[in-house]
Amino acid sequence: MAKRKSKFVCQECGYESPKWMGKCPECQNWNTMVEEFVASSSQNSYLHTFQGVSSTKKPEIITKIKSEKEPRITTKMPEFNRVLGGGIVPGSLVLIGGDPGIGKSTLLLQVSAQLADKAFPVLYISGEESTRQTKLRADRLGIKSDLLYVLSETNLLDVTNQIELLNPSFVVIDSIQTIYREEVSSAPGSVSQVRECTSELMRIAKSKGIPIFIVGHVTKEGSIAGPRLLEHMVDAVLYFEGERHHTFRILRGVKNRFGSTHEMGIFEMKEEGLREVNNPSEIFLEERSQGAAGSTVVASMEGSRPVLVEIQALISPTSYGNPRRMATGIDHNRVPLLMAVLEKRIGLMLQNQDAYVKVAGGVKLDEPAIDLAVAVSIASSFRNQPSRPDDVLIGEVGLTGEVRRVARIDQRVQEAAKLGFKRAIIPQKNLEGWTPPKSLEVVGVNSVQEALKAALGGA
């Protein structure tokens, strides 16, 4: 009897090796190499594919290919539709990741019920819960639809057979780490199982035009478990974020072949399920302290939507030789950079001060337009001098202390005016080409020094 061939595969990055190693040379993680047996039958079929078998498809000239706009299936959640680029594209394969208990299953069960209410047959496959457990969640969410089918199964062959029999318009797999293929000898959730199962699901989605949503577990670092190949295979990758002890959840697009990757949807977890937050700016500013030093408001763009967020800074004398620089919600490297600009160009002695900067509400901001608000917050806390509570600050700060123009200034200012702000401090170069609202005063500044004078009343 021939000896079975085996290989060792890293469960983090998918690196393969003929022998076991304690440390993966690709991702540098320890104890991630697991032995997996190579199936000879699949290997023979793979070789047979390239031995004189002609393909029925022929290449086409790109100018003669008819371009048709993909029709989209919309749900009753505009936030969910916008993150996907306007709705669900038929035949798309979407991966949703998030921390345990954050609400991934709740979100997809609500979406499935809304699609079933629109006369679309939906197949919800749960590999982690029984049908009775799924029914309990559906009762809590108030879901009553005769076109929503629930299946508790982990065998990929049985899953594909049920899809063939039912021919649904929408499929949910919860989760991909529990699905296994019998031909693959490794355990469910391994690199080989995840790769093979996702490939089969992708084939079904593309050949039948069925949108399939896949739930993926995340690692302790917050990334989706399994190889990066999984994210490359799917059409869209969505992350469901938020603190388990807070009610707000953020659905963020990381990859999307059919839309923008900068969109963000905000939900609130209630007893009866997830509820959309139509105006997130009010939510993020409702607990803002009036007249507190170190607090400013910035209008940030999240995809096509402007969001007003509070930025808080706390500057205090250090008790150690090296002062601390901590940031939550923004890039931690941005804080020492802006503090160096304030020290060099404005003359603030910050080298012996601890700095703590936070974006209130748990939002993560990564655009340069928040620089001016962060710099004014730091100066406000250092001087213990509050800025005006009805001010909003927008602008990028350069290393020479200049305030540079930003994109979509009109949308940012309109959002600030809608929420009752009276003044906007923006770059001087952004004053041209648009008409500000009458209820809001617009102040143009060329440097950080001018911005501090306008916001705090001093040079």
* Pair 242, 248: CB distance under 8 Å: yes
Euclidean distance between the first and the last CA atom of the chain, given in angstroms as a whole number: 86
- Dihedral Cα 450, 452, 453, 454, nearest 10 deg: 90
> What are 226's two structure tokens?
């399994």
Angle at 284 between CA 283 and CA 290, to 5 degrees: 110
104 is annotated as contributing to ligand binding = yes
Pairing of strands 353-359, 391-393: unpaired
101 is annotated as contributing to ligand binding = yes
102 is annotated as contributing to ligand binding = yes
Cα 196 to Cα 70: distance, rounded to the nearest angstrom? 27
321 is annotated as contributing to ligand binding = no
Pairing of strands 248-256, 264-270: antiparallel
List CB contacts of 134: < 8 A, sequence separation 6 or more: 109, 124, 126, 150, 152
> What are 207's two structure tokens?
């050949």
59 is annotated as contributing to ligand binding = no
> What are 417's two structure tokens?
């005016």
* Pair 334, 437: CB distance under 8 Å: no
The residue assigned the tokens 């999307």 is 256
DSSP label at residue 75? -
Cα 369 to Cα 366: distance, rounded to the nearest angstrom? 9
Neighbour count for residue 234 (Cβ, 10 Å):
24
Residue type present at position 91: G
Q: Which of 225, 243, 219 is nearest to 362 (CA)?
A: 243
Query: Facing residues of 423 across strands?
Result: 391, 441
99 is annotated as contributing to ligand binding = yes
Angle between helical axes of 334-341 and 371-383 (0-180°, round to 10):
60
Q: Which helix (H) or strand (E) holds 26?
A: none
The residue assigned the tokens 């000879």 is 40
457 is annotated as contributing to ligand binding = no
105 is annotated as contributing to ligand binding = yes
Q: Which of 8, 37, 38, 36 is nearest to 24 (CA)?
A: 8
| Cis-peptide into 439, omega within 30 deg | no
List CB contacts of 2: < 8 A, sequence separation 6 or more: 40
**Residues annotated in a binding site:** 98-105
Binding-site residues for ATP sit at 98-105
